[in-house]
Amino acid sequence: MKNNLADDIFRTMVDNADTAVLYTEPSVPNSLNAKEYHVKYANKKAQNFFFIPSDSNENQSLEEIVKYDELLILANKVLETNEDENFNIIVKESDNILNYHVRIRSFNKGLLFALSLIKPKYITDKESKHPLGSLESRKRELEISNLFGIRVLDSNDSIICYLKPIFNKKGDVEDFRIDYINNRMGEIANDDSAFIEGQTILEYYPKNAENGVLEILADGYTTGENKEYTKEFIFNEKSVWLTTRAVKMNDGLILFSKDVTQEKTYEAQLFIQNRLLSEAEHVANIGSFRWNLAKEQIKYSDNVYRLFGYDPNEFDDKYDRLLTFLHPNDFEKVKSSFKAARINKSKSDLVFRVYTKSKELRYMNTIAECYQKEGNWYMVGVIRDVTKQIEAESVLQIKNTELKRTNADLEAFNRVASHDLQEPLRKVQMFVSRLDDEEEGRLSNRSQDYLSKIKYSSDRMRNLINNLLSYSKIDEVGEQPRRVDLNDVLYNVLEDLGERIKDLDAKVDSVSLPVVNGIQFLLEQLFANLIGNSLKYVNEGVRPNIKIIGSIVSGDKSLVESLLPNINYVKLQFIDNGYRIRKKVSRENF
Amino acid sequence: MDKLRILLVDDDEDDRQFFADALEGIELNTDLHQLENGKSCMEYLLTDTDNTPDLVFLDLNMPIMNGFECLEAIRRTPHLKDLLVAIYSTSSAERDIEETFEKGANIYIKKPSSFNELKKSLKQVVKMNWAYHLNDFKKENFLLKI
């Protein structure tokens, strides 16, 4: 009972082990040259490995049991020598290449096989116990080499194939037969190696005759030179770019092809982007550069060369060469700015002067930033020609200076007008006012008339000065146009003119006065002048009647030349019953 | 009732005459003293505190020491810092008006061009209840632009 239990425990353990265990005994015990064996024990792994049915009890030759030549040879050796054998074998199971460590030993009356799966490693002939150079050894070595080769070739990223030339009657290479191709084509063209092998390169891909591939390969075979080419192929309507290296070996060519479709796509995109960038730079009159800060070389875009008056790549890409273009007075500034940017990895933004190829002085602005990539520091930036802007700024500065001077003049004028001109006038008015007060009733009619005229003229002059001052104040205030209700404008003006309107019993009406975009003060001035004129230029004894009508008109309907078509304008009509003003005067009112 | 003591500082003889006549014309109990520039004004005011008037009319544009400088000098003097000062000038420039108020003027009168208007202005200023107005100081109330 005990023994049976122990048997069961060990059987279970052995069945679950990673090692395949097989024990076989000769049908006739103690027979060294036994032909018939039967399997006394095989755990599950061994049953799978040797394809042994679990209920097998029939006698078989050892050859039938172990199936692999390798094992049979060594099993026989163990039987002969009674010494253990340890060795590795490679087995191809469906698509997998597996390595087993095998141990065969003489056990009890038979042979005990133990096979355990090991991680792949290089297997050399040294592990074989066969005498070097023996037929078995060479055969085994070949098998191992084949398996090893298949494994290596299939695991390679490249498409590897071996081509044999086919000659025409003249002795020229007219095609190549594909003797071997690894399984990488399956991923690209969905074709098995077995399908491709045996075909010629023109049978498999007829366009090889037109795309230059056949010509290159034939030349490579004939001259023995290594060839390298990148070509586009169409498989299943899909574009595939392959970079191929062809090397002559014995009487054929070995081709290593790498799928570079992705790189080609990126390259094409990059090409387009570079073209776009180049065009954009050209249009925007800017150039760009990339500087590996560890080196003294700067990579410029084509337009940088053009900005300096050169053709692309006409001057070398050394940092020092760039400095030679600089205006001497800007040399240190640029050098120290770049130096600081280089050391501090900081942003650089500066304007400097350069002399172009034709010795023309131009202003350049460069804005550059530093960034780190794969451990290297780079400075990338743009260079743009800002000569026009600088010149425009300088013109603007001159204009500003002129404007400031004009403003100063205007201010001086204001002072003159407000004080120096008004002061004597005020005195005149004051004396007139006193004369009028003190001599009232004592002056002759004629003198009284003269005095009235002096008073009227001085009042008028004061008004003119005031208007002049108001006008000059417009710029001083710098008021911006805003929404102005013309009804408010009219109201304010009528308030100011209230006394005169009352005296003359004038009638002022308005119709549809809109809200406009303007400066209130100016509009009030305009209304005051026009209404003032209407009140002034009226025949004696006639009651002034003024009507102001607002309407919207389209520019193209108007007869005024300066108006733009398709734009709406506000039309204001001031209609009165006074006498006509000369045209010249009326223009100045506006 | 004591006379209201008024000091006029103006370099223009005509204007001083207009002022004196106008003051006389409004028939108020006033005592007018006239000076020609800021320097003589300060000398007069610093000689004797008895000279301190009730109200000073100060022109701006004057030789030797102008109205701005004189106003500053008045406000720097402890016993004159509360003296009522009326600026009496031809200038209507905002900048001048602003500056005088910043420097401590109490009222700004633009010299009028008619005698009647001058009388009206002076009457208004002289009769003004200063104690009441200064308690509720608003610049626009003290800007007489005529």
Q: Which residues of B touch A430 (CB under 8 A)?
A: 14, 18, 112-115, 118
Last residue of a domain, one of A128, A150, A172: A150
- Could you tell me the CATH superfamily of domain B4-144? Response regulator (3.40.50.2300)
A472 lies in some domain: no
Taking the C-alpha atoms of residue A69 and residue A239, their distance in angstroms, rounded to an integer, is 47
Contact across the interface for B18 and A423, Cβ inside 8 Å: no
A31 lies in some domain: yes
- The pLDDT value given to residue B142: 60
CA dihedral of residues A262, A263, A264, A266 (deg, nearest 10): 90
A85-93 sheet: strands from edge to edge: A37-42, A20-26, A110-118, A96-107, A85-93
- Here the tokens at position A478 are 């710098």
User: Domain check: are A144 and A232 in the same one?
Assistant: no
Check whether B145 has a pLDDT greater than 70. no
- Whether residue B115 lies within 8 A of chain A, CB to CB, comes out as yes
The residue range of the domain holding A558 is: 480-589
Residue A208 in contact with residue A215, Cβ under 8 Å? no
Question: Which domain CATH number covers A329?
Answer: 3.30.450.20
User: Domain check: are A168 and A119 in the same one?
Assistant: no
Q: What is the mean pLDDT of residues A70-75?
A: 78
- The pLDDT value given to residue A31: 54
Contact across the interface for A423 and B116, Cβ inside 8 Å: no
User: Domain check: are A88 and A194 in the same one?
Assistant: no
Q: How far is B90 from chain A, CA to nearest CA, in Å?
A: 7
Residue A364 in contact with residue A386, Cβ under 8 Å? yes
DSSP code of A579? P
Q: For testing the chain B interface, which of A415, A423, A426, A437 should be mutated: the one with the most B CBs within 10 Å?
A: A426
Q: Tell me what the pLDDT averaged over chain A comes to.
A: 81
- The pLDDT value given to residue A126: 45
A494 lies in some domain: yes
User: Domain check: are A82 and A209 in the same one?
Assistant: no
User: Domain check: are A502 and A540 in the same one?
Assistant: yes
Closest CA to A572 of A484, A470, A474: A484
C-beta atoms surrounding A54 within 10 Å:
7
Contact across the interface for A423 and B93, Cβ inside 8 Å: no
- The pLDDT value given to residue B72: 93
Q: Across A424-506, where does the E strand assignment appear? A: 482-485
Check whether B1 has a pLDDT greater than 80. no
A298-300 sheet: strands from edge to edge: A298-300, A286-292, A376-385, A361-373, A348-355
Check whether A105 has a pLDDT greater than 60. yes
Residue in the structure block whose two tokens are 């997998």: A96
Contact across the interface for B115 and A423, Cβ inside 8 Å: no
Q: Which residues of B touch A429 (CB under 8 A)?
A: 113-114
Taking the C-alpha atoms of residue A189 and residue A466, their distance in angstroms, rounded to an integer, is 95
Q: List the single residue in B with minimal CA-CA distance to A411.
A: B93
Cβ contacts of residue A180 below 8 Å, gap of 6+?
A160, A161, A162, A193, A197
A197 lies in some domain: yes
Domain ranges of chain B: 4-144
Q: What is the mean pLDDT of residues A491-511?
A: 86
- Which position has the higher pLDDT, A375 or A419? A375
Taking the C-alpha atoms of residue A494 and residue A532, their distance in angstroms, rounded to an integer, is 10
Give, in order, the Cα–Cα distances in Å from A63 to each of A66, A463, B117: 6, 136, 145
DSSP H/E element including B86: strand B84-89
A473 lies in some domain: no
Contact across the interface for B114 and A425, Cβ inside 8 Å: no
- Here the tokens at position A81 are 């020598």
Q: Which residues pair with A22 in a beta bridge?
A: A42, A113
Taking the C-alpha atoms of residue A104 and residue A114, their distance in angstroms, rounded to an integer, is 7
A46 lies in some domain: yes
CB pairs under 8 A between A and B: 36
pLDDT tens by residue, A228-263: 999 999 988 888 999 999 988 878 899 999 888 888
DSSP code of A480? P
CA dihedral of residues A533, A537, A540, A541 (deg, nearest 10): -50
pLDDT tens by residue, B16-51: 999 999 998 887 788 899 999 999 999 999 988 788
Q: What is the mean pLDDT of residues A68-93?
A: 77
A64 lies in some domain: yes
User: Domain check: are A378 and A402 in the same one?
Assistant: no
* C-alpha A569 chain-centroid distance: 48
Helix axis angle, A422-438 relative to A445-477, nearest 10°? 150
User: Domain check: are A381 and A397 in the same one?
Assistant: no
Which candidate from B91, B92, B113 shows the least CB-CB separation from A429? B113
A474 lies in some domain: no
Q: Which residues of B touch A462 (CB under 8 A)?
A: 113
- Whether residue A76 lies within 8 A of chain B, CB to CB, comes out as no
ipTM above 0.90 for this complex: no
DSSP H/E element including A23: strand A20-26
Which candidate from A414, A419, A426 shows the least CB-CB separation from B113? A426
Q: Which residues of B touch A424 (CB under 8 A)?
A: none
- The pLDDT value given to residue B140: 55
- Which position has the higher pLDDT, A346 or B15? B15
C-beta atoms surrounding B46 within 10 Å:
14
Which candidate from B61, B93, B114 shows the least CB-CB separation from A433? B114
Taking the C-alpha atoms of residue A222 and residue A253, their distance in angstroms, rounded to an integer, is 10
Q: How many CA atoms lie within 13 A of A92 on its CB side?
A: 11
- The pLDDT value given to residue B33: 94
Q: List the single residue in A with minimal CA-CA distance to B14.
A: A427
User: Domain check: are A255 and A270 in the same one?
Assistant: no
- Whether residue B116 lies within 8 A of chain A, CB to CB, comes out as yes
Q: Across A283-404, where does the E strand assignment appear? A: 286-292, 298-300, 348-355, 361-373, 376-385
Taking the C-alpha atoms of residue A99 and residue A457, their distance in angstroms, rounded to an integer, is 126
Question: Which domain CATH number covers A529?
Answer: 3.30.565.10
pLDDT category at A77 given cuts 50, 70, 90 is confident
In which region does residue B30 sit, left (phi positive, over 0), alpha (psi from -120 to 50) or beta (all else)?
Answer: beta
Cβ contacts of residue A553 below 8 Å, gap of 6+?
A568, A569, A570, A571
Q: Which residues of A touch B111 (CB under 8 A)?
A: 426
pLDDT tens by residue, B79-113: 898 888 999 998 877 788 889 999 989 889 988 88
Count structural domains, chain A: 5
pLDDT tens by residue, A381-434: 889 888 888 888 888 888 888 888 888 887 777 666 666 777 888 889 999 988
Contact across the interface for A430 and B93, Cβ inside 8 Å: no
Residue A537 in contact with residue A579, Cβ under 8 Å? yes
Instruction: Enumerate long-range contacts of A162-171, CB under 8 Å, 24 or more apart.
Output: A162/A249, A162/A252, A162/A253, A162/A254, A162/A255, A163/A201, A163/A217, A163/A252, A163/A253, A163/A254, A163/A255, A164/A251, A164/A252, A165/A218, A165/A221, A165/A251, A165/A252, A165/A253, A166/A200
- The pLDDT value given to residue A97: 63
Contact across the interface for B90 and A434, Cβ inside 8 Å: no
Check whether B138 has a pLDDT greater than 60. no
Residue in the structure block whose two tokens are 């500087």: A291
Contact across the interface for A429 and B18, Cβ inside 8 Å: no
Taking the C-alpha atoms of residue A336 and residue B109, their distance in angstroms, rounded to an integer, is 63
pLDDT tens by residue, A538-580: 888 889 999 999 988 877 655 666 777 777 888 899 999 887 6
- Whether residue B137 lies within 8 A of chain A, CB to CB, comes out as no
SS3 of residue A209 by DSSP? helix
Q: Which residues pair with A289 in a beta bridge?
A: A300, A381
Q: How many CA atoms lie within 13 A of B11 on its CB side?
A: 12
Check whether B67 has a pLDDT greater than 60. yes
Residue A243 in contact with residue A228, Cβ under 8 Å? yes
User: Domain check: are A199 and A301 in the same one?
Assistant: no
* DSSP assignment of A117-164: EE------GGG--SPTT-HHHHHHHHHHHHHHHHHHHHHSSSEEEEEE
Which candidate from A418, A423, A430 shows the least CB-CB separation from B93? A418
- Whether residue A439 lies within 8 A of chain B, CB to CB, comes out as no
Which candidate from A422, A434, A437 shows the least CB-CB separation from B90? A422
Q: List the single residue in A with minimal CA-CA distance to B93.
A: A418
Residue B114 in contact with residue B136, Cβ under 8 Å? no
Residue in the structure block whose two tokens are 């204009």: A399
Q: Across A184-263, where does the E strand assignment appear? A: 227-235, 238-249, 252-259
Q: Which residues of A touch B14 (CB under 8 A)?
A: 427, 430
* DSSP assignment of A360-391: -EEEEEEEEEEEEETTEEEEEEEEEE-HHHHH
In which region does residue A94 sit, left (phi positive, over 0), alpha (psi from -120 to 50) or beta (all else)?
Answer: left
Closest CA to A180 of A197, A166, A165, A194: A197
Taking the C-alpha atoms of residue A53 and residue A367, their distance in angstroms, rounded to an integer, is 81
Out of A128-142, A173-187, A203-217, pick the least confident: A128-142
Contact across the interface for A426 and B92, Cβ inside 8 Å: no
Check whether A483 has a pLDDT greater than 80. yes
